[in-house]
Structure 1
Amino acid sequence: MGHVVSRRFILAAGGALVAASAQAQTARPKVKIGLLRSLYDVGIGLADSRSYFAAEGIDVELYPFSDTAEGSQALAVGAIDAVTQGISGGLLNLMARGVEAKIVASAGEHAPGHGVIGLVIRRELVDSGRFKGPADLKGLKLALGQNAPPHWLVKKYGDAAGIGRRDVELVSTGIGNVLPAMINKAIDGACLLEPYASELIRRTDAVRVVSMDQVQPNFPAGYLMFGPSLVTRNHDAGERLLRGYLRGVKDYRDAFDRSGDKEAVVRDLRSRQVNVATDMVSVGFPEDMAPSTAHVDAFIAWQMEVGVLKTKPDISSFIANDQRAAALQAVGGRI
């Protein structure tokens, strides 16, 4: 069984390159996986905690990162072999520079009913009639990650009413400060990833007014990405890792979408430091686990408009389907 280790390597001078060619010759390859401890990691967390990777004959070490930028850089320099990533300007910039990595499977999407980014507004603003719809964003003070998918949700929601960037005051409070800011009325709302959005609603009686699935249905929540060590140098280890990953995702779907044991899934994910809750909106997964590109071109165009991206990446050129297709057949054809 794999385990979480502390970060003992520094992303500098190209990083410590993984000796994947040597590993490819061993019967039990060792695989280093980056962990963001977010919803994107449910498949990895369950596969590791329930020994699905071990059953596939691979030894896994999980390396926690604080954000997607760190994980992307680690994969780019070969310090890790795989990582689940939310779509972001940092990831798209690496793709634009031609990073040697591939998107091999979905790590979740905002399918209908599974909008895991939500805009939450203080209840008194809704009950008083101050906030009734997108036009009422004007003049509000919202906490969110600027130029990230939560910002994209607010932008697309406001577009319907002609709300511009300067019509809303956007602040970056840090996730730990959102709750007290809502309680103290220092902000009018926040746009957050699960489980934080549901926690904010539960603890402040706030109102979820829109979620990503309503505005940009099937927009990707995240991707599972492999570096060259698993795509080319040890293709078989990559396929084995994917088989374990798919079994982990299936367990997650069984619990959250098919009335299974949510408590057990949450317990096992928390043992791998993945932040989840039984009452959260669940992330969606397609049955074939194909990575979604819905609305990604529009997101890229917006990233270029706000200056995050200088060069447009061709995301389709980074998608590799062969390992996923083979792994999917091995676990019954769908998850």
Structure 2
Amino acid sequence: MPPTSISPLLSSQPSRRSLLRGAGTVAAAAALFGLTACGGSSASGTGSVTKVSLGHAAGISNAPLYIALARGYFQAEGIDAELRAFKSGGDMVAPLASGQLDAGTGAPGAGVFNAVGRGLGVRLVADTGKLDDGTKYSNLLVRKALVDSGEFTKLSDLKGKRLGLYADGTSTTLWFDRALAQGGLQRSDIQANFLGGPDQAIALQNGSIDAATTAEPYATKAIESGAAVRFAVGADFYPGLQLGVIMYGTAFTQKKPEVAVSFMKAYLRGVADFSASLVDGQVRGKDAQEITDIISKYTELDSALIAKTYAAPVDSKGALNVKGLADDLETYRRAGLIEKADLKIEDIVDTSFVEKAAAALATT
């Protein structure tokens, strides 16, 4: 199913487009974060250990990486993984391109695509979550009072409503624009308020917005507060949507290709453990308490909340939805959000490392 085009409203707002162009210079970003060069080796006992810096914006979607860290899977591959905190995946792009950061996690969107188009050395290399059928990670929440009163019963009732949305040019807007189209609407029919997940939950509770495209764990928070109900999920409108990815800097892959594969082997072991802990999208399966405690340690979210939230499933082999990403690129291009006219998905994605890792694990 081809993506629904984003409303022309997106391309008419230069401030948003400038945000998508705001990766900044590599040197400035490196200085800002005070990062030091990485990828060197040091002796540890009788073996050689390679330091690899990993950027993350703390969240449940990074659970397999946290598990791999906590359970020693990186160490088993001869990797000393150094975790570094960022506000978002977009903030990691310049450090990745400069070699100040080796790997990072984030959402694939117009900003990352444009960074590649500008020649920054970043590639999307593995899956950290998709909207498989029924996945409740990304949600259309509606204020409970509107549903209880009968004022909101169908998608077309979004007309004129105040919506809490994540930034334009991101994966969430892709499924939301499809939802609008199913209701016979476009972006100009709603009142868009661009808010992060925590602010969406608060705004639903205080009534300053009527609905929101809220991801976990903030969706569960809003629902448990009694302020909102889950009216639909993103997977209803765009099943298979690539929500999150691991990114590699090409400086890392060119200098340490074997280490890049070993990193993926450790990550896929974390994926296997995380998948085994999930029952109907929640951490209620194998080693559930240990897994929630690990996630809590790295995200500072309460373990009890983590157990109630829904996770986006991760492909067992780390495979990306490359066709979907190619469709997304064209959707952003039609909306005027892509700067380089001849940018192709092949320029952005490199699945070779995770494919080699999956093949190596299959033989052990």
Give the TM interval when normalised to the shorter protein. 0.7 to 0.9
Alignment of 1:319 with 2:349, yes or no, is yes
Q: Percent identity, aligned pairs only?
A: 25
SS in 2 for 1:132: coil
Q: Deviations along 1:20-59, whole A, 9 cap, x unmatched?
A: 4x54999211000001112331221111122111121111
* Mapping for residues 125-144 of structure 1, pairs under 5 Å: 125-144=146-165
Aligned partner of 2:97 in structure 1 is 76
Aligned partner of 2:20 in structure 1 is none
Aligned-residue CA RMSD (Å): 2.6
Alignment of 1:161 with 2:183, yes or no, is yes
The one-letter amino acid paired with 1:123 is K
Q: Is the 8 A contact 2:99 2:252 kept in 1?
A: no
Q: Deviations along 1:299-321, whole A, 9 cap, x unmatched?
A: 33343344432225322333333
Aligned partner of 1:287 in structure 2 is 316
Q: Is the 8 A contact 2:38 2:53 kept in 1?
A: no
Counterpart Cα distance in 2 of 1:323 and 1:145: 31
Q: Is the 8 A contact 2:205 2:225 kept in 1?
A: no
More off after superposition, 159-168 vs 255-264: 255-264
Counterpart Cα distance in 1 of 2:287 and 2:79: 27
Aligned residues: 325
Counterpart Cα distance in 2 of 1:217 and 1:24: 44
2:285 aligned to 259, 266, 282, which one? Answer: 259
More off after superposition, 152-161 vs 169-178: 169-178
Q: Is there any run of 5+ residues in structure 2 with no aligned partner, and where?
A: 1-26
Aligned partner of 2:13 in structure 1 is none
| TM superposition score normalised by structure 2 | 0.81
The one-letter amino acid paired with 1:296 is L
The one-letter amino acid paired with 1:162 is G
* Mapping for residues 26-45 of structure 1, pairs under 5 Å: 27-45=48-66
Q: Is the 8 A contact 1:47 1:248 kept in 2?
A: yes
Q: Deviations along 1:222-272, whole A, 9 cap, x unmatched?
A: 111211243221112111111111111111101014822322212102212
Counterpart Cα distance in 2 of 1:327 and 1:266: 26
Q: Assess, with a 3 A threshold, how the Cα gap between structure 1 residues 234 and 115 changes in structure 2: closer, same or farther.
A: same
Q: Deviations along 1:101-140, whole A, 9 cap, x unmatched?
A: 3322211111112242111001221222221222111011
Q: Is the 8 A contact 1:75 1:101 kept in 2?
A: yes
Q: Deviations along 1:270-299, whole A, 9 cap, x unmatched?
A: 212275711112211223221113533443
Q: Is the 8 A contact 1:266 1:278 kept in 2?
A: yes
Displacement of 1:332 in angstroms is: 3.4
2:242 aligned to 214, 220, 223, which one? Answer: 220
Q: Assess, with a 3 A threshold, how the Cα gap between structure 1 residues 240 and 159 changes in structure 2: closer, same or farther.
A: same
* Mapping for residues 293-308 of structure 1, pairs under 5 Å: 293-308=322-337
Q: Is the 8 A contact 1:36 1:65 kept in 2?
A: yes
Counterpart Cα distance in 2 of 1:229 and 1:304: 28
Counterpart Cα distance in 2 of 1:164 and 1:104: 33
Displacement of 1:326 in angstroms is: 2.6
More off after superposition, 170-179 vs 69-78: 170-179
Q: Assess, with a 3 A threshold, how the Cα gap between structure 1 residues 307 and 39 changes in structure 2: closer, same or farther.
A: farther
Q: Is the 8 A contact 1:49 1:272 kept in 2?
A: no
SS in 2 for 1:282: coil
Q: Is the 8 A contact 1:39 1:274 kept in 2?
A: no
Counterpart Cα distance in 2 of 1:164 and 1:322: 39
Aligned partner of 1:269 in structure 2 is 295
| TM superposition score normalised by structure 1 | 0.87
Counterpart Cα distance in 1 of 2:309 and 2:156: 28
Counterpart Cα distance in 2 of 1:41 and 1:230: 20
Q: Is the 8 A contact 2:131 2:313 kept in 1?
A: yes
Q: Which has the higher strand share?
A: 2
Displacement of 1:19 in angstroms is: 5.1
The one-letter amino acid paired with 2:60 is L
Q: Is the 8 A contact 1:143 1:173 kept in 2?
A: yes
Q: Assess, with a 3 A threshold, how the Cα gap between structure 1 residues 86 and 181 changes in structure 2: closer, same or farther.
A: same
2:200 aligned to 178, 193, 200, which one? Answer: 178
